[in-house]
Each structure stands twice: as C-alpha cells, then as structure tokens.
Amino acid sequence: KGKKRKKAVQCPHCSKTFTHRNSLLYHVRSHSGRRPHQCDVCGKGFFAANALRVHMRMHSGDKPYTCSVCGRNFRQWGDLKYHMTSLHSDTKQYQCEFCGKDFARKYSLIVHRRIHTGEKNYVCEFCRKSFRASSYLVNHRRIHTGEKPY
C-alpha cells in the first residue's frame, strides 16, 4: 500500500499551502504585523521566538550546523540541507543545455542558464543596474539603503 498524502491547506491571507496544521498556524501569525520578540542588539522584531534565536546567530557568528562532506558551517539547518542537495548530492537531474553542467535544483539551473542568455530581469530602482537573480538584487540594494541584515 502506498503512503496516504495529507491534504494541503492554504493560508487564508496568501497563496502558501501547508500539509501540517501547526505549520499553517505558525505561518498565519506572520501576517498579524505583531513582532513581540525584539533583538536587543539591532532592534529588529520577530513574530516568533525561534526566529529571534536564529537571528541572534547573525550577531554572535554561531554556525552550529556543519557539513559532513566539506566542513562548511551554517546558521540554519535548512541552509545546510540546501547546501548538501545543491553541492554534494549525486542526484543532479537538471542539466544546462548550453554547457552540460548538472544541477540538483531546477531554480539553480534557471539562474545558471541566464549566464548563457544574458537575461537580467531584476533591476535596481536606484541605479538601474540589472541582475540575474532576485537575491543578487536584494544584496545590491543594501549599497543604496545602508541596510545591514545582521
């Protein structure tokens, strides 16, 4: 017999879906606008105590999750998991049709492909410089805003 899949439930405030009720309830709190857990170092507020704990690692430099393959350290377990599947996984099912490079994640291939096509869809509203990935733009914007994510 196959495993029975749980029915996904959608957040009433956005399009995100969840298969676990507790995950949905935790997520719904993020829409309230309340940020009762504040960082003593920089003042940034969080809706969950755990999010503040993870944030505090930015200030302390604590990286408790270590890659067993290359020894690189990470602040969050999810970052280590992403690292493992992106770099150390034998299963790389997405291949670039231009150069043959293999990727474990489809999005990594999509961003990589833009090297070949020259596509840069993410444009800075301050200086009009363009980028291949939204994360590159987010980091670049900090030059203009002075934002420090730690």
What pLDDT digit, counting tens, does each position of 62-108 carry? Answer: 999 999 999 999 999 999 998 998 888 888 889 999 999 998 888 88
| CA angle centred on 80, ends 74 and 83, rounded to 5° | 115
| Total domains, the chain | 2
CB contact at 8 A, 137 and 124: yes
- Regarding whether 39 and 28 lie in a shared domain, the answer is no
What's the Cα-to-Cα distance from 78 to each of 14, 74, 82, rounded to whole Å? 22, 9, 6
Residue 144 lies in a domain: no
Residue 23 lies in a domain: yes
Q: Which residues contact 59 (CB under 8 A, 6 or more apart)?
A: 39, 41, 42, 150
H/E stretch holding 95? strand 94-95
Query: pLDDT above 70 covers what percent of the chain?
Result: 95
- Regarding whether 43 and 84 lie in a shared domain, the answer is yes
What pTM was computed for the model?
Answer: 0.55
Domain limits at 78?
35-88
Residue 110 lies in a domain: no
Residue 113 lies in a domain: no
Residue 8 lies in a domain: yes
User: What's 58's domain CATH number?
Assistant: 3.30.160.60
